Amino acid sequence: MMEVLLNKLYEQNELTQEDIVYFLEHLTPEYQKRLFDLAVETRKKFYNKSVFMRGLIEFSNYCKQDCLYCGLRRSNPHVERYRLSESDILDCAEEGYNLGYRSFVLQSGEDFRFTEELMISIVTSIKSRFPDAAITLSIGERSEAFYRALYDAGTDRYLLRHETASRSLYESLHPGMSFDHRISCLHVLKDIGYQVGAGFMVGLPGQTHNHLAEDLLFLKELHPEMIGIGPFIPHSETPLKEAVGGTVQDTLVMIAMARLLVPDALMPATTAMGTLDPTGREKALRAGANVVMPNLSPPKVREKYALYENKICTGDEASHCRTCLEMRIIASGYEIELSRGDHCRVISPK
Ligand code: 5AD
Ligand code: FES
């Protein structure tokens, strides 16, 4: 049976919910190795050996949401909150540009001080100074009008992880938030024309194989351009401090399966993987991931952007991250790609 399922994954990029659960229950180390190898083969069909670099700028850690897992939740009084100014953000982008990056991700908590007007101004400034760079926003749920205005201002991509495709699990982790609204944001972003990123955490409390199968099938159906999958890491100042959290191994299996079910996706080897295991990101690349996101935030604020604890790269200069990641990519047998790194279906970027 496992042979049949592996074959179906590789040849047809398809499995049913029952098949996925069966596969996860019967996965031996040998099948796991074959799964990873097939994921790597598949990624090569679309992106060869390239690993895309995206400079990450964490510009505000204020958040109006209260997600149970997140260290930046509004109920955590121990976070020293910060906001970068527009000119700080531009300086980060410039530093990244000088290091060769042509793709920037601007990420923050859900901070409504960054109004539509201010965000338009930031995106317009970066685009006018660096017209050959792609901009990705990762700033949470906003109105359709906001998403349209930012797209018209030149934003290329938007990351909004669905976090979990199970309505009941979603609702238990996100007080005051609506599962339907989150999913509808993803559809709106897609309809507007953004390259969209979705994704989920592995090892959430109460998460079963059935839930994970739902996550994978949700991704297959949405067919986002980007997929971020990382282990949940409990944070000691959140209600989930006693939770067990996700493992590198389980996350690798999800990365490989997502690669096979959505073969053309751009998938990061996440910082959370590097945090749990010093070679976690390399392992992710060898399980089908093909993006890395070096930190470009100013060193003085990096420690304050703690979604979870012991996050790596918090003390490093931008240039240090670049060299470190390049070594890791090359040592894993891949090639560094500094271009915008559009999805392979995008023929002529905006
Ligand atoms: N562990 C791992 N990932 C987390 N995120 C938030 N909190 C944690 C945590 N404790 C992830 C969420 C969010 C992304 C920016 O970081 O999936 O979408
Ligand atoms: Fe929701 Fe930070 S409080 S991701």
Q: Which residues of the chain have pLDDT under 70?
A: none
pLDDT digits (tens, 9 = 90+) for 197-216: 999 999 999 999 999 999 99
* Cα separation, 284 vs 289, whole angstroms: 5
Measured CA distances, 321 to 8, 92, 299, 318, 326 (Å)? 39, 14, 11, 5, 8
Instruction: Give the pairing of strands 335-337 and 195-202.
Output: unpaired
Both tokens of residue 52?
A: 């895309």
Percent of the chain with pLDDT over 70: 100
Protein residue with least CA distance to atom 1, ligand 2: 67
Ligand 1 center from residue 307 Cα (angstroms): 6
* pLDDT of amino acid 318: 86
pLDDT digits (tens, 9 = 90+) for 292-334: 999 999 999 999 999 999 999 998 788 899 999 999 999 999 9
Instruction: Give the pairing of strands 226-231 and 157-159.
Output: unpaired
* pLDDT of amino acid 156: 98
* pLDDT of amino acid 124: 98
Beta-bridge mates of residue 103: 134
The answer for residues whose C-beta is within 8 angstroms of residue 170's C-beta and 6 or more apart is: 162, 163, 164, 177, 179, 182
For the CA atoms of 131, 134, 135, 138, the dihedral, rounded to the nearest 10 degrees, stands at: 180
Number of Cβ within a 10 Å radius of residue 143:
11
* pLDDT of amino acid 161: 98
Q: Which helix (H) or strand (E) holds 2?
A: helix 2-12
* Closest-approaching ligand to the CA atom of 243: 1
pLDDT digits (tens, 9 = 90+) for 73-92: 999 999 999 999 999 999 99
Ligand 1 nearest-atom number relative to CA 199 = 17
Would you say 15 and 258 are in contact if contact means Cβ atoms under 8 Å apart? no
Of 260, 171, 248, 163, give the one whose Cα is nearest residue 212: 163
pTM of the full structure: 0.97
Ligand 2 center from residue 108 Cα (angstroms): 9
Ligand 1 center from residue 5 Cα (angstroms): 31
Ligand 1 center from residue 70 Cα (angstroms): 6
Which residues sit with their C-beta closer than 6 Å to ligand 1? 69-70, 161, 163, 201, 230, 232-233, 235, 272, 307-308
Q: 13 — alpha (psi -120 to 50), left (phi > 0) or beta? A: left
Both tokens of residue 346?
A: 């995008």
